[in-house]
């Protein structure tokens, strides 16, 4: 059976008056929504307050955007600095350029800071969010399809991606913001699609492994890190779009390999087993199970639950045990 090539969308940006509607942004937003819903359900199943995921989104999404842009600008600095370059374009996110490495790293750091502020353990929430994060990354890769980016070498395989010549209203070449003329300029490996498929595969592996082995203490998170970077390493070797290199390899190839090794080591070093609900969010657990703890949760005038704070308790009124189960 002969399959037709995969066509690129005729355009990736539409306008409502002067307001641009970017397919890439819509894909990222869709991924965030899906990831949050999965994370809220999984964190609740672990015994946490699902509203904590909403708090996490408030701090992690801006941090992720900033981190993603910083990584892109640092690794592709020659696009913004030097003779004939405009450094202010480094702040122009609408022109494209977000590195997933920086987004995840700074987003995770923001999440860690939030959980420190809430006096709650970091790893239970990170484990709950990890599958949703990689599925969100996969959904976000559809944005690369609209932007005609993240592609590989020319090929004649049946699933090759056709890249169209796009122009703006003035007839100038505009591969991201322009509209297709119908002219196919290349048929290439759709590496964005390979990564999308890999991300979905890793998502199901994380869900399966978490249920099968009751992973906790950061092991879902580290398995996500190792799983994603393993696939990304080989996908980077296939890409031919412009990128800086070190010793002949793309920067992202090096990052993928190094982070994969780190993630794998930390996965096997993390304690086995899973945190109990009382360890995930002691205060929320006390509110949900007052009779089991021999206490009555009395609502105060402000709508919160009153509890006697003793030495070693969190500000939610729960006791965080010592040991690896409660460590951040």
In the prediction, which pLDDT does 84 show?
Answer: 83
In the prediction, which pLDDT does 294 show?
Answer: 62
Tell me the backbone φ, ψ of residue 242, rounded to 5 degrees: -60, 135
Tens-place pLDDT, residues 274-311: 999 999 999 999 998 887 766 544 554 444 444 444 43
In the prediction, which pLDDT does 293 show?
Answer: 62
- Determine contact, residues 112/124, Cβ cutoff 8 Å: no
- Determine contact, residues 123/328, Cβ cutoff 8 Å: yes
3-class SS of residue 225: helix
Prediction pTM value: 0.85
Cβ burial 183-215 (10 Å sphere, 16+ → b, else e): eeebbbbbbbbbbbebbbebbeebbebbeeeeb
In the prediction, which pLDDT does 83 show?
Answer: 85
Closest by Cα among 157, 131, 156, 140 to 103: 140
Residues in the chain with pLDDT values less than 50 = 1, 296-297, 300-328
In the prediction, which pLDDT does 291 show?
Answer: 74
- Determine contact, residues 328/121, Cβ cutoff 8 Å: yes
Q: What angle do CA 204, 207, 208 make, to 5 degrees?
A: 85
* Per-residue DSSP letter, 278: H
Half-sphere exposure of 180 (CA within 13 A, CB side): 16
Q: Where are the domains of the chain?
A: 6-279
In the prediction, which pLDDT does 186 show?
Answer: 94
Task: Give the end-to-end CA distance of the chain in Å, rounded to a whole number.
Answer: 54
Its sign, for the CA torsion 290, 295, 300, 306, is: negative
- Determine contact, residues 126/107, Cβ cutoff 8 Å: no
Distance CA 197, CA 294 (A): 50
């Amino acid at each position: 059976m002969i399959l037709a090539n995969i066509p690129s969308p005729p355009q990736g940006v539409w306008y409502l008056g002067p307001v641009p509607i970017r397919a890439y942004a819509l894909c990222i937003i869709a991924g965030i929504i899906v990831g949050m819903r999965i994370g809220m359900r999984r964190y609740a199943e672990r015994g946490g307050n699902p509203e904590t995921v909403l708090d996490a989104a408030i701090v992690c999404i801006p941090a992720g955007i900033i981190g993603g842009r910083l990584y892109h600008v640092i690794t592709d600095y020659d696009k913004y600095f030097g003779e004939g370059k405009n450094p202010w374009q480094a702040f122009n996110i609408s022109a494209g350029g977000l590195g997933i490495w920086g987004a995840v790293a700074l987003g995770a750091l923001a999440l860690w800071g939030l959980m420190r502020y809430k006096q709650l353990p970091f790893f239970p929430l990170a484990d709950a969010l990890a599958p949703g994060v990689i599925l969100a990354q996969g959904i976000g890769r559809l944005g690369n399809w609209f932007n005609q980016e993240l592609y590989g070498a020319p090929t004649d395989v049946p699933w090759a991606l056709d890249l169209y010549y796009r122009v703006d209203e003035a007839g100038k070449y505009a591969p991201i913001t322009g509209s297709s003329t119908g002219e196919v300029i290349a048929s290439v490996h759709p590496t964005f699609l390979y990564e999308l498929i890999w991300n979905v595969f890793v998502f199901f592996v994380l869900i399966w492994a978490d249920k099968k082995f009751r992973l906790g203490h950061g092991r879902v998170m580290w398995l996500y890190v190792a799983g994603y970077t393993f696939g990304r390493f080989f996908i980077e070797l296939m890409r031919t779009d412009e990128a800086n290199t070190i010793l002949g390899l793309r920067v992202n190839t090096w990052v993928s390999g190094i982070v994969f090794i780190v993630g794998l080591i930390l996965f096997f070093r993390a304690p086995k087993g899973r945190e109990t609900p009382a360890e995930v969010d002691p205060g929320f657990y006390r509110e949900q199970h007052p009779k089991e703890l021999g206490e009555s949760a009395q609502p105060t005038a402000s709508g919160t639950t009153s509890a006697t704070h003793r030495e070693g308790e969190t500000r939610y009124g729960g006791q965080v045990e010592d040991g690896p189960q409660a460590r951040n």
